[in-house]
């Protein structure tokens, strides 16, 4: 993998336009637009499109990990175990992001280390049941922050475990 495409060049406390990302990382703007289409979150309703440095960094790190270590849908790469691991179900949270994506976070079942990855809301129910969870997912595992997840049957969620 190219050494120029390096997440360490990204500052987490600023936001970037597509062109700035392309210049900082030395990749084509088209590549950046493809990342957005593939789930890189953008800041809602701004023109030009802005990308949070923190989101970009996480996205690139995850991309690199997925490239190196194939994770199952319900697994996350654990930095400490250096392997894809299933998170403990009680620690798992799905945080809403724009464009139908969710930021999944949870603690490794074996070492307790926290991992993150981006998933599509479409896959959230499937991930949850693969972890041994029952549907609907309790509200405490979903962090929506005013965002309405796309492709997700919300009415089924909020009747449970208030
Ligand atoms: Zn671990």
Mean pLDDT of 131-150: 84
Q: What is the pLDDT of residue 161?
A: 39
pLDDT tens, residue by residue, 99-121 = 778 999 999 999 999 999 988 88
81 CA to middle of ligand 1, Å?
Answer: 4
How is the chain split into domains, by residue range?
Answer: 1-68, 72-162
**Protein residues placing their CB within 5 Å of the ion ligand 1:** 78, 80-81, 108, 110-111, 113
Residue 159 reports pLDDT greater than 70: no
Q: What is the pLDDT of residue 158?
A: 47
pLDDT tens, residue by residue, 4-40 = 567 788 999 999 999 999 999 989 999 999 899 888 9
Count CB neighbours of 45 within 10 A: 7
When pLDDT is cut at 50, 70 and 90, the band that residue 149 belongs to is low
When pLDDT is cut at 50, 70 and 90, the band that residue 160 belongs to is very low
Q: Which range, 40-49, 64-73, 102-111, 140-149, is most confident? A: 102-111
Give me the percent of the chain exceeding a pLDDT of 90. 46
Residues 120/125/131/136 CA torsion (nearest 10 deg): 140
Structure tokens at 28: 């084509």
57 CA to middle of ligand 1, Å?
Answer: 21
* Rama region for 51: left / alpha / beta (φ>0; ψ in -120 to 50; rest): beta
Task: Report yes or no: 20 and 27 within 8 Å, Cβ to Cβ.
Answer: no
Q: What is the pLDDT of residue 121?
A: 86
Class of domain 1-68: mainly alpha
């Amino acid at each position: 993998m190219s050494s120029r495409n390096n997440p360490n060049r990204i500052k987490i406390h600023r936001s970037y336009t597509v062109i700035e990302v392309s210049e900082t990382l030395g990749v084509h703007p088209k590549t950046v637009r493809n990342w957005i289409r593939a789930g890189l979150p953008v800041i809602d309703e701004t023109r030009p499109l802005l990308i949070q440095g923190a989101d970009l960094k996480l996205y690139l790190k995850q991309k690199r990990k997925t490239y190196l270590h194939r994770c199952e849908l319900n697994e996350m790469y654990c930095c400490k175990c250096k392997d894809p691991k299933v998170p403990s179900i009680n620690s798992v949270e799905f945080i809403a992001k724009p464009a139908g994506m969710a930021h999944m976070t949870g603690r490794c079942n074996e070492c307790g280390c926290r991992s993150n990855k981006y998933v599509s809301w479409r896959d959230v129910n499937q991930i949850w049941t693969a972890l041994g969870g029952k549907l609907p997912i309790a509200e405490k595992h979903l962090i929506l922050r005013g965002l309405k997840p796309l492709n997700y049957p919300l009415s089924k969620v909020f009747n449970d475990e208030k």
